[in-house]
Amino acid sequence: MPMQRNDSGAILLEAIIGFAILGLFAGMVLQQLQIAVERTGQGSKRAMILAESANIIERVGFDISLDGETGQGPFETVENATWRLDIEPFSDGRQSPPVKATGNLKQIRLTATWPRGTAVRSLAFVTLRRVPQ
Q: Is 2 a member of any domain?
A: no
For residue 99, what are the domain limits? Answer: 8-131
**Which pLDDT belongs to residue 77?**
85
Q: Is 71 a member of any domain?
A: yes
**Which pLDDT belongs to residue 97?**
56
Q: Please tell me which of 19-23, 95-99, 113-117 the model is most confident about, judged by mean pLDDT.
A: 19-23
**Does residue 71 contact residue 88 with C-beta atoms inside 8 Å?**
no
Which residue, 86, 79, 74, is CA-closest to 111?
86
* Mean pLDDT score of the chain: 83
Q: Is 119 a member of any domain?
A: yes
Q: What is the pTM of this model?
A: 0.65
Q: How confident is the model at residue 83 (pLDDT cuts 50, 70, 90)?
A: very high
The count of C-alpha atoms lying within 13 angstroms of the C-alpha of 47, restricted to the half-sphere facing its C-beta, is 6
Is the sign of the CA dihedral 17, 22, 26, 28 positive or negative? Answer: positive
Q: How confident is the model at residue 25 (pLDDT cuts 50, 70, 90)?
A: very high
Give how many domains the chain has, as a whole number: 1
Which residue, 106, 54, 105, 116, is CA-closest to 83?
54
Alpha-carbon distance values, 107 to 72, 93, 95, 110, 126 (Å): 16, 13, 17, 10, 7
**Which pLDDT belongs to residue 33?**
93
Q: Is 1 a member of any domain?
A: no
Q: Is 23 a member of any domain?
A: yes
Q: How confident is the model at residue 29 (pLDDT cuts 50, 70, 90)?
A: very high
Q: Is 20 a member of any domain?
A: yes
Share of the chain above pLDDT 70, in %: 82
Q: Is 3 a member of any domain?
A: no
Between 10 and 1, the more confident residue is: 10
Q: Is 65 a member of any domain?
A: yes
Tally Cβ neighbours within 10 Å of residue 114: 20
